[in-house]
Amino acid sequence: MTLPDFGEVPPADVLQTALQQKGCFLLREILPLPLLQAAKAELEAHYAEADQAWQSGQMTQSAYHKLFQYGHLPFEEGLLPLAEHSEGEANLYTCLLGIDSLKPFLSAVLGPSLFLIEKNSQPRRQHPFWPERQIPFHQDAEFLGGRPALNFWIPLDSCGRNAPGLELWLRPQNRVWFELNLDPLTPLYQQRDVSAIQAQASRDQFWQPEMEPGDLLVFDAYLFHRTWLTESMFLPRYSLEIRLTHPAYAPGLKGREWVL
């Protein structure tokens, strides 16, 4: 199977086809490394503070179970502080979303502007020694109210070999399969039976890309994906997840419109 893995940004129609046929595409070496390195250093400090807050009892149980349990920090504690060290939100988003060569694709899919869903834009940390925090097969649409959306998934570490990456099922879906109705006290991967889904797939439809800082993975909110974690991994992985939708789907969502 041809993988949607691009060393150079192809024309918008090629990316649209990849999104329609595979649900995702990976663009190599497209994001600015200094910004990503600064973001990683900043996040390590924020995560150390959050670890301390949790261990000392200052983080509420609900905050822990809602996000931190699975390695997320809320937008206000994760992405927003990054903006201050990248000369403001506008600059951060310009660096991460305003890539000139990607604009024809975004314009073709979303129109003249997009909506950045701040509530669902956050950093994530996954360590191989915390398998209970891995996220099983799911669709982002489960927690986006079924809205069409894109995930800009941005690795801040080399991942997929020595650090946890992502596994993607390269088959477009047109409905949400699971309801987000979870027990916060049981690890997610123990709550979800995905055998019926996996039974529909052939082995070569699953992709576990090795990614480096600078790469950008874009995937559809209906695409099934999960944490890719193997027993030989030994390094942690930090990443950013930035979720976008069409401004028409913005009502009721916390975020901002971004003109392309």
Q: Which is nearer to Fe ion, 50 or 221 (CB)?
A: 221
* Nearest partner of 184 among 132, 231, 118, judged by Cα: 132
Is residue 140 within the footprint of Fe ion (CB under 5 A)? yes
Q: Tokens 């669902």 map to which residue?
A: 120
Q: How many residues bind Fe ion (CB under 5 A)?
A: 1
Q: How far is the CB of 142 from Fe ion (least distance, A)?
A: 9
Q: How far is the CB of 140 from Fe ion (least distance, A)?
A: 5
Is residue 157 within the footprint of Fe ion (CB under 5 A)? no
Q: Which is nearer to Fe ion, 157 or 220 (CB)?
A: 220
Calpha distance 72→182 (Å, rounded) = 17
Calpha distance 204→171 (Å, rounded) = 11
Measured between alpha carbons, how far apart are the two ends of the chain, in Å? 33
Calpha distance 158→211 (Å, rounded) = 6
Among the residue ranges 74-82, 120-128, 135-143, 196-204, the one whose residues contact Fe ion (CB under 5 A): 135-143
List CB contacts of 8: < 8 A, sequence separation 6 or more. none
Q: How far is the CB of 58 from Fe ion (least distance, A)?
A: 28
Q: How far is the CB of 57 from Fe ion (least distance, A)?
A: 29
Q: Which is nearer to Fe ion, 9 or 138 (CB)?
A: 138
* Cβ proximity of 253 and 245 under 8 Å: yes
Calpha distance 128→228 (Å, rounded) = 10
Q: How far is the CB of 204 from Fe ion (least distance, A)?
A: 22
Calpha distance 104→127 (Å, rounded) = 36
Q: Which is nearer to Fe ion, 107 or 205 (CB)?
A: 205
Among the residue ranges 35-43, 49-57, 95-103, 136-144, the one whose residues contact Fe ion (CB under 5 A): 136-144
Is residue 220 within the footprint of Fe ion (CB under 5 A)? no
* Cβ proximity of 255 and 144 under 8 Å: no
Token pair for residue 147? 């809205």
Among the residue ranges 17-25, 118-126, 139-147, 158-166, the one whose residues contact Fe ion (CB under 5 A): 139-147
Among the residue ranges 69-77, 92-100, 121-129, 140-148, the one whose residues contact Fe ion (CB under 5 A): 140-148
Give the x-and-dash track for 41-70 against Fe ion (CB under 5 A): ------------------------------
Q: How far is the CB of 123 from Fe ion (least distance, A)?
A: 13
Which SS3 state, helix, strand or coil, does residue 28 take? coil
Q: How far is the CB of 24 from Fe ion (least distance, A)?
A: 11
Strands 113-126 and 237-245: antiparallel
Interface residues with Fe ion (CB under 5 A) are: 140
